[in-house]
C-alpha cells in the first residue's frame, strides 16, 4: 500500500518537476557555463576563458560603481519601507482611540489602505513614465512647478532631478519607497488583524503606551512577516532594472548621468544586448544571483527568532 502511494505521488510530480528543471534550472546552468567563455551572443561560437570574466568584473569601474549603488539601495530600501509600512499599519489597525468597541484603527483606515495600495497596482513601467514627468528638469515638471510657485526654486534654473549626479539615485529610491510601502502596509495589516485584540487591550490596561505596545507586542508578533518582507525588499534592491532603465537618462537601459544611477542589472543588459559581451554579462548574472542568495540566507539567519505563540 505504501509503495503504491509513492508511485501515485511520483506520477503526479514527475511532469511538473521536469518542466521546472527545463525552464528554470537549466537556464541557470547555461548561464553559469557561458560565464566561463567569451560568447558574444550572436552565435554559438565561443572559447573557454576560465575566470577571466570574473577577474575583469572587479577591475571594471562601472561595475563596481553599480555594485555600490545596489548596496546603497539595499541599506536604504528595506529599512525605510518596513519602518513606514509598520507605522502606517499600526495606525490603521490599532492606532485609533479606544472606545466601547475596543481597540481600533484611526478613522477612515479602510480608505487609507486602498490609497496606499493603489501605486502597487500599477506596473513599474507606468510608474517610471509617470515619475519621469514629475521629475522633469524644466518648469513643466510637477515638483519644479510647485517649488517655483512656493519661491523655493529659481524659474531660470530649475532643479535637474534626473540629470543631477547627486540626486538621481535618491530620486529612484524614493519612487521604490513610494511604490512599496502600500503593499507592505497591507501585508502587515493582515498579520496584525490575526493578533487577538485582547492582547492590545491587556497591554493598555497594564499602563503600556502606544509606543510600548508597538515594540513589546506588535513587532514581536509580526517578526516572521517582517523577516519575509526584508528578504523580498533585499531582492528588489538588487534588481531595480525596469524602473531605472525607463526612468533615468542614458544610452540604452538608463543608468545615467555618467553611470550615477547604474545598477548591476542595467549594466548586465547593456553588455549583453548593446556591447555583445554576453559571456561577460553572464558572469555578472552569476555574481548577482550569488549575492542575492547570500544576502537572503544571511537575513534569514540574523533575523531568526524564537516563534511566539498566542
For the stretch 60-89, pLDDT in tens is 999 999 999 999 999 999 999 999 999 888
**What would the grid cell of residue 301 be?**
539567519
How many angstroms separate the CA atoms of 36 and 2, rounded? 46
For the stretch 266-284, pLDDT in tens is 999 999 988 889 999 999 9
CATH code linked to domain 54-302? 1.10.3720.10
Residue 101's pLDDT band, with cuts at 50, 70 and 90, is: very low
- The whole-number average pLDDT for the span 199-215 is 75
Cβ proximity of 253 and 177 under 8 Å:
no
Share of the chain above pLDDT 70, in %: 92
**Would you give the distance in Å from CA 196 to the centre of its chain?**
31
Average pLDDT for the chain:
85
3-class DSSP state of 131: helix
**What would the grid cell of residue 94 be?**
490599532
For the stretch 15-55, pLDDT in tens is 888 999 999 899 999 999 999 999 887 777 889 998 999 99
Share of the chain above pLDDT 90, in %: 39
3-class DSSP state of 296: helix
Q: Is the pLDDT of residue 213 over 80?
A: no
How many angstroms separate the CA atoms of 208 and 200, rounded? 9
**What would the grid cell of residue 239 be?**
534588481
Q: Which of 32, 67, 28, 25 is CA-nearest to residue 240? A: 67
- The whole-number average pLDDT for the span 136-160 is 87
Sequence-distant contacts of 132-136: CB under 8 A, at least 24 apart:
132/162, 132/246, 132/247, 135/161, 135/162, 135/171, 135/247, 136/161
Amino acid at each position: 500500500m505504501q509503495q503504491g502511494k509513492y508511485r501515485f505521488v511520483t506520477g503526479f510530480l514527475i511532469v511538473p518537476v521536469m518542466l521546472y528543471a527545463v525552464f528554470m534550472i537549466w537556464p541557470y546552468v547555461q548561464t553559469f557555463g557561458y560565464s566561463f567563455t567569451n560568447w558574444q551572443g550572436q552565435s554559438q561560437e565561443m572559447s573557454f576563458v576560465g575566470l577571466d570574466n570574473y577577474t575583469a568584473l572587479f577591475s571594471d569601474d562601472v561595475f563596481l560603481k553599480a555594485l555600490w549603488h545596489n548596496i546603497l539601495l539595499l541599506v536604504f530600501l528595506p529599512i525605510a519601507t518596513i519602518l513606514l509600512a509598520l507605522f502606517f499599519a499600526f495606525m490603521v489597525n490599532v492606532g485609533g482611540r479606544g472606545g466601547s468597541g475596543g481597540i481600533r484603527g484611526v478613522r477612515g483606515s479602510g480608505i487609507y489602505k486602498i490609497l496606499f495600495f493603489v501605486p502597487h497596482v500599477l506596473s513599474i513601467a507606468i510608474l517610471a513614465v509617470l515619475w519621469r514627468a514629475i521629475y522633469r528638469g524644466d518648469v513643466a515638471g510637477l515638483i519644479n512647478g510647485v517649488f517655483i510657485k512656493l519661491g523655493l526654486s529659481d524659474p531660470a534654473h530649475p532643479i535637474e532631478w534626473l540629470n543631477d549626479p547627486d540626486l538621481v539615485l535618491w530620486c529612484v529610491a524614493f519612487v521604490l519607497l513610494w511604490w512599496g510601502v502600500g503593499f507592505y502596509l497591507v501585508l502587515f495589516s493582515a498579520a496584525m488583524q490575526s493578533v487577538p485584540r485582547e492582547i492590545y487591550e491587556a497591554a493598555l490596561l497594564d499602563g503600556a503606551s502606544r509606543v510600548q505596545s508597538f515594540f513589546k507586542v506588535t513587532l514581536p508578533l509580526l517578526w516572521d512577516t517582517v523577516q519575509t518582507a526584508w528578504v523580498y525588499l533585499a531582492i528588489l534592491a538588487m534588481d531595480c532594472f525596469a524602473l531605472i532603465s525607463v526612468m533615468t537618462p542614458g544610452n540604452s537601459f538608463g543608468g545615467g548621468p555618467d553611470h550615477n544611477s547604474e545598477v548591476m542589472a542595467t549594466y548586465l543588459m547593456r553588455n549583453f544586448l548593446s556591447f555583445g559581451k554576453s559571456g561577460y554579462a553572464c558572469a555578472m548574472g552569476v555574481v548577482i544571483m550569488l549575492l542575492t542568495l547570500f544576502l537572503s540566507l544571511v537575513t534569514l539567519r540574523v533575523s531568526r527568532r524564537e516563534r511566539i505563540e498566542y
